[in-house]
Amino acid sequence: MTESTKNYVNGEWVVSETGDTFDVENPANSNEIVSRYQQSNSTDAAVAVSAAAESQDSWKNTPGPERGRILREAGTVLANQKEGLTGLLVSEEGKSYAEAAGEVQRAIDIFHYFAAKAADLGGTVKGSSGKNTTLYTRKVPVGVAALITPWNYPIAIPAWKLAPALAAGNSVVLKPASVAPGLSLKIAKALDEAGLPAGVLNVVTGPGREVGSEFIENESTDAVSFTGSSQVGQTVYDQATDAGKRVQTELGGKNPTVVTGSADPSKAADIVATGGFGTTGQSCTACSRAIVDSAIHDDFVAALIDRAESIDIGPGSDHEMGPQVSANERDSTLEYIDIAVEEGATLAAGGGVPDGTAVANGYFVEPTVFTNVDSEMRIAQEEVFGPVISVIEVDDFNGAIDVANNVQYGLSASVVTESHNEANRFIDEADAGVVKVNQKTTGLELHVPFGGFKRSSSETWREQGDSGLDFYTIEKTVYDSY
């Protein structure tokens, strides 16, 4: 019998008021129940917010180096549990073992990074226009931060929201996605072991319409950070701003890789395939469109098809590419594949569900390549959260830039080129918050800002690095006459 995992509220592990639970299945084998979690409601969420609010003053007044010590110790606890955390991530979300291990390590690194930053939080001293006056600024926490996180990076994204919030002196309520909530509760346990005071962090599982909405609208929360789809993100943004909250949203993408005529086709195909098929295409920064110069188009397509057909598909524990996270996600990807065929795109590789006993009960989709794609087709305009790459042929670099920018999203974009001029023009002209040269669209450094343009972000605050701390702090200006 599967044991129910409890919510973490006010330093205690508690069951939901509803008495109900929900199961999380292994996406590689839907017959296997991985874990059982609390099906919480708005009352559970309100209790968590109250606990966070009551702890806020004490945590705010805890010295930054002490807050940092707790974050550092939590990172060490996670590091000591890395093997088990990796296994849970593979089982709940479906990533390959190598991808899951890398994500767990990233979470560890994030906690250690912001542990050091907690001691550096201060302000600046400015020259005063008056005599005998010291003029300076101080950074103070926003208050209670409500974090709503997605399933596709179930430990890294909670970590990169939570660590700067705590480092800056905010108390937190966190609602992880119900598809893969286990890693967020493991973070809570690590922080509890590290000595985080009761009430500073509260994690409640359950539906967004109940738990998430209460977190957003409760008068005691001061800031809302959300990562997820653009459609849901707009609703969250409207709810949060209507309630007078500080808000950041990081949303979807339709990320291009431009392959110029000077690029090596084989190298470019490997970059595109890694960016598009890695994490089963379930990254907001995944490459969805390869925009390729006609001079090397045919050689590039041949190399990309070879790469797609060589990928080893199966359970993430021992295969290169795992399943999609749920039946709904798999079915959505397959529906987009059907739409692309109906609109006239050429299915050049994949496009179906793989055969074999190892994948019979999972949510697997073959790595898929479309050619003869027009940039106005739905497959080239709408986010497909799965292992599907559309190849769009263009006549020249100017045409490639136009196609790359001709979408409602602007999260990540890359160019593969041997031309210094093309590389710098792309950096200048690409409408994206992350721009890369001769690299895949996925993969982020933790100490630099991350965020998108257009429908990929609220364009209010960036995450990670110093920018991540900015969202969770407010500057206070002090005039001290003596």
Write out the catalytic residue numbers. 284
Let me know: does 156 contact 107? Beta carbons within 8 Å.
yes
Question: What order of strands is seen across the sheet that includes strand 388-394?
Answer: 346-349, 368-371, 388-394, 287-293, 255-259, 412-416, 434-437
d(CA 192, CA 186): 10
Residue 285 CB neighbours (<10 A): 25
Residue 223: CA count within 13 A, CB half-sphere: 27
d(CA 469, CA 120): 11
Q: Supply 179's token pair.
A: 């598809």
Let me know: does 218 contact 240? Beta carbons within 8 Å.
no
Q: Supply 98's token pair.
A: 């190598």
HEC sequence for 182-213: HHHHHHHHHHHHHCCCCCCEEECCCCHHHHHH
- One-letter amino acid identity for 181? P
Cross-strand partners of 255: 287
Let me know: does 178 contact 7? Beta carbons within 8 Å.
no
d(CA 397, CA 400): 5
Q: How many helices (H) and strands (E) does the chain have?
A: 15, 22
Relative to beta strand 144-148, strand 133-141 is unpaired
Q: Which of 399, 400, 403, 377 is nearest to 388 (CA)?
A: 377
Residue with tokens 């991350």: 450
HEC sequence for 243-295: CCCEEEEECCCCEEEEECCCCCHHHHHHHHHHHHHHHHHCCCCCEEEEEEECC
d(CA 126, CA 138): 12
Residue with tokens 């609390």: 38
